[in-house]
């Protein structure tokens, strides 16, 4: 007896060819394509070809909406409407020293906002929030949906890995994009981020879209295009969305790594910490409070009076961690010194990120282990005056063989000159719903 396979309504080769020559796909075609890929009808080689065509030719707004909707439809949708407090989420496109989630979530929780923060791991020169938090003994990222709701209800904030049921089509496609050179595409980035955020079920979303040498999109115009696309996707789905365009040309704060970024975040939660980390934390907090209907609430006092730090401790303990346990300390530490006199013009975020990665703080491939004690301390900022021999970086690692390669990446990271550099604003622009 012959078993006949169902007849598919479209031919994937036709869709690849049309997109290759800049044609548009219909909503029905996009929905079928994503479903067929999940079912195994569309082969990875075919999806790779289509993704490359999208990278080269782009997508129309209607196609991006259809792609986002299809990825949402591939999995479950969460609902946080019964928490008794507004659920507002935040997403960053990632950067060097970007530890903002760590102080931001407990800060908002201490003010009565629920923050269901689904975070990721680092890859290449940018760090991952989950890697940083796993420096804390006992803390765990993998929570069930019921556990996530419990922590949200009891603490007000949760930071955890996205479950496998949330936009699984995006998970499969991102793994393919990562190995086929098709990550850096505004339509693909926007639909990937927003499919998970819309499915997550929050009532508002604040996006931190970065540009500069340490960002995935170094050009501000590209970052703005991405922000506008994501805000539009949020608006179309009924998710109130705001985006801040922020400068990632220099590392955020002093610490770049994992355990050292946790230490710096606790400094911020204790009323101290680097000025730029505090500034961005408060800027994002104000946007989230606005979406929560709490525009008149000033978040700054909660960093000074202990409320945010108390929420941090509750959050860490609720996920199995010990907030009082010593964080890992590296076995090897060396100092990188200035080679000339002058004024620091620039600290290259990408070079610092690559240095931390080579020291062991990051990973080259998904699944690689990270060294939680490895990292870089940035000791100078643009505008600082230095003399030859002054310390500019302190680098740490657990494997002696990594040290030389990490230091080599930092050799040209600090530019020194005679002029006083113009201070660039940390928040370059704000994109809101029309």
What are the pLDDT digits (tens) for 345-392? Answer: 999 999 999 999 999 998 877 777 889 999 999 999 999 999 999 999
CATH, residue 396: 3.90.1170.30
Asked whether residue 239 falls in the same domain as residue 162, the answer is yes
Catalytic residue, chosen from 119, 185, 191, 192, is 192
Catalytic residue, chosen from 89, 98, 131, 170, is 170
Q: List, for residues 382-408, the tens digit of each pLDDT value.
A: 999 999 999 999 999 998 789 999 999
Q: Catalytic residue at 265? A: no
Catalytic residue, chosen from 19, 65, 99, 196, is 196
Asked whether residue 373 falls in the same domain as residue 261, the answer is no
Asked whether residue 116 falls in the same domain as residue 194, the answer is yes
Asked whether residue 284 falls in the same domain as residue 381, the answer is no
Rounded mean pLDDT, 27-41: 96
| Residue 3 pLDDT | 63
Identify the bridge partners of residue 344 per DSSP, sorted by sequence position: 416
**212 close to 173: Cβ distance less than 8 angstroms:** no
Domain for residue 428, yes or no?
no
Cα distances (Å, whole numbers) of residue 376 to 4, 328, 329, 362, 418 = 60, 14, 12, 12, 26
Over pLDDT 90: what percentage of the chain? 85
Alpha helices in 292-427 (DSSP H): 300-304, 307-318, 349-356, 400-409
**207 close to 284: Cβ distance less than 8 angstroms:** no
Report the C-alpha gap between 185 and 208 in whole angstroms: 17
Residue 105 has, within 13 A of its CA and on its CB side, a CA count of 28
Asked whether residue 120 falls in the same domain as residue 41, the answer is no
Closest to 106 measured CA to CA, from 317, 347, 386: 317
Among 295, 325, 355, residue at a domain's last position: 325
Average confidence score pLDDT of the chain: 94
Report the C-alpha gap between 69 and 339 in whole angstroms: 53
Between β-strands 332-337 and 157-161, what pairing exists: parallel, antiparallel or unpaired? unpaired
Report the C-alpha gap between 227 and 425 in whole angstroms: 18
Asked whether residue 99 falls in the same domain as residue 224, the answer is yes
| Residue 221 pLDDT | 96
Domain for residue 157, yes or no?
yes
Domain for residue 362, yes or no?
yes
Asked whether residue 298 falls in the same domain as residue 402, the answer is no
Query: Per-residue confidence at 151, pLDDT binned at 50, 70, 90?
Result: very high
Domain for residue 76, yes or no?
no
Residues 6+ apart with CB under 8 A from 310: 110
CA-based max dimension of the chain:
84
Domain that holds residue 366: 332-417
Rounded mean pLDDT, 416-433: 94
Output the 3-class SS for 198-252: HHHCCCEEEEEEEECCCCCCCCHHHHHHHHHHHHHHHHHHCCEEEEEEEECCCCC
| Residue 338 pLDDT | 96
Q: What is the pTM of this model?
A: 0.94
**66 close to 243: Cβ distance less than 8 angstroms:** no
Cα distances (Å, whole numbers) of residue 163 to 118, 171, 256, 260, 391 = 9, 10, 27, 27, 43
The number of beta carbons lying within 10 Å of the beta carbon of residue 37 is 22
Q: Catalytic residue at 170? A: yes
| Residue 162 pLDDT | 85
Among 305, 325, 345, residue at a domain's last position: 325
The number of beta carbons lying within 10 Å of the beta carbon of residue 170 is 27
- From the number of C-beta atoms within 10 Å of its C-beta (0-12, 13-18, 19+), residue 343 rates as middle
The number of beta carbons lying within 10 Å of the beta carbon of residue 279 is 15
Report the C-alpha gap between 301 and 97 in whole angstroms: 24
| Residue 183 pLDDT | 84
Identify the bridge partners of residue 206 per DSSP, sorted by sequence position: 90, 242
| Residue 5 pLDDT | 64
Domain for residue 3, yes or no?
no
Q: Catalytic residue at 192? A: yes
pLDDT beyond 80 at 2: no
| Residue 410 pLDDT | 96
Of 147-161, 171-185, 233-247, the one with minimum mean pLDDT is 171-185
Return the SS3 of 285. helix
Report the C-alpha gap between 406 and 359 in whole angstroms: 5
| Residue 110 pLDDT | 98
Between β-strands 115-119 and 255-257, what pairing exists: parallel, antiparallel or unpaired? unpaired
pLDDT beyond 60 at 71: yes
Report the C-alpha gap between 81 and 153 in whole angstroms: 11
Asked whether residue 340 falls in the same domain as residue 285, the answer is no
Over pLDDT 70: what percentage of the chain? 98
| Residue 399 pLDDT | 85
Among 274, 300, 325, residue at a domain's last position: 325
Q: Catalytic residue at 91? A: yes
CATH, residue 242: 3.40.1030.10
Query: Per-residue confidence at 143, pLDDT binned at 50, 70, 90?
Result: very high
Asked whether residue 230 falls in the same domain as residue 105, the answer is yes
DSSP code of residue 124: T
The number of beta carbons lying within 10 Å of the beta carbon of residue 162 is 20
Domain for residue 235, yes or no?
yes
Asked whether residue 166 falls in the same domain as residue 301, the answer is yes
| Residue 194 pLDDT | 96
Domain for residue 74, yes or no?
no
How open is the CA angle 27-32-34, to the nearest 5 degrees?
Answer: 100
Number of residues that make up the chain = 434
Asked whether residue 319 falls in the same domain as residue 176, the answer is yes
| Residue 4 pLDDT | 66
Q: Catalytic residue at 125? A: no
Query: Per-residue confidence at 282, pLDDT binned at 50, 70, 90?
Result: very high
Query: Per-residue confidence at 216, pLDDT binned at 50, 70, 90?
Result: confident
Domain count, the chain: 3
Asked whether residue 199 falls in the same domain as residue 318, the answer is yes
Return the SS3 of 386. strand
Catalytic residue, chosen from 177, 350, 363, 372, is 177
Residues 6+ apart with CB under 8 A from 290: 242
Cα distances (Å, whole numbers) of residue 154 to 5, 130, 197 = 50, 21, 22
Q: What is the CA radius of gyration of the chain?
A: 22
Q: Which of 2-16, 53-67, 356-370 has the highest mean pLDDT?
A: 53-67
Domain for residue 112, yes or no?
yes
């Amino acid at each position: 007896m012959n078993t006949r396979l169902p007849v598919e309504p479209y031919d994937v080769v036709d869709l690849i060819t049309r997109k290759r020559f800049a044609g548009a796909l219909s909503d029905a075609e996009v929905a079928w394509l994503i479903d067929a890929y999940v079912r195994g009808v569309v082969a990875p080689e075919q999806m790779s070809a289509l993704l490359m065509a999208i990278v080269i030719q782009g997508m129309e707004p209607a196609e991006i909406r259809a792609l986002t909707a299809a990825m949402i439809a591939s999995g479950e949708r969460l609902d946080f409407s019964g928490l008794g407090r507004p659920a507002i989420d935040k997403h960053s496109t990632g950067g060097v020293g970007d530890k903002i989630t760590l102080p931001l979530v407990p800060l908002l929780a201490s003010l009565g906002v629920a923050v269901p923060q689904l975070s990721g791991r680092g890859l290449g020169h940018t760090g991952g929030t989950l890697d940083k938090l796993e420096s804390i003994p006992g803390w765990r990222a993998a929570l069930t949906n019921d556990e996530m709701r419990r922590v949200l209800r009891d603490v007000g904030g949760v930071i955890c890995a996205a479950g496998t049921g949330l936009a699984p089509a995006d998970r499969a496609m991102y793994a393919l994009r990562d190995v086929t050179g098709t990550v850096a595409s505004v339509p693909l980035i926007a639909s990937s981020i927003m499919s998970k955020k819309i499915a997550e079920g929050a009532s508002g979303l604040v996006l931190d879209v970065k540009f500069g040498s340490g960002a995935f999109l170094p050009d501000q115009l590209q970052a703005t295009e991405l922000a506008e696309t994501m805000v539009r996707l949020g608006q179309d789905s009924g998710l109130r969305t705001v985006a801040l365009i922020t400068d990632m040309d220099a590392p955020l704060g002093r610490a770049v790594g994992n355990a050292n970024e946790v230490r710096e975040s606790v400094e911020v939660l204790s009323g101290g910490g680097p000025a730029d980390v505090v500034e961005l934390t408060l800027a994002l907090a104000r946007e989230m409070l606005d979406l929560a209907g709490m525009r008149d609430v000033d978040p700054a006092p909660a960093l000074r009076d202990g409320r945010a730090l108390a929420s941090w401790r509750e959050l860490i303990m609720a996920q199995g961690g010990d907030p009082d346990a010593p964080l890992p300390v590296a076995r090897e530490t060396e100092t990188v010194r200035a080679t000339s006199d002058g004024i620091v013009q620039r600290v290259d975020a990408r070079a610092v990120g690559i240095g931390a990665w080579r020291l062991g703080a990051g990973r080259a491939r998904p699944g690689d282990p990270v060294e939680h004690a490895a990292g870089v301390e940035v000791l100078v900022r643009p505008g600082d005056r230095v003399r030859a021999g002054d310390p500019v970086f302190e680098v740490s690692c657990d494997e002696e063989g990594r040290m030389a390669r990490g230091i080599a990446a930092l050799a040209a990271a600090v530019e020194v000159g005679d002029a006083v550099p113009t201070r660039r604003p940390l928040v370059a622009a704000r994109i809101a719903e029309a």
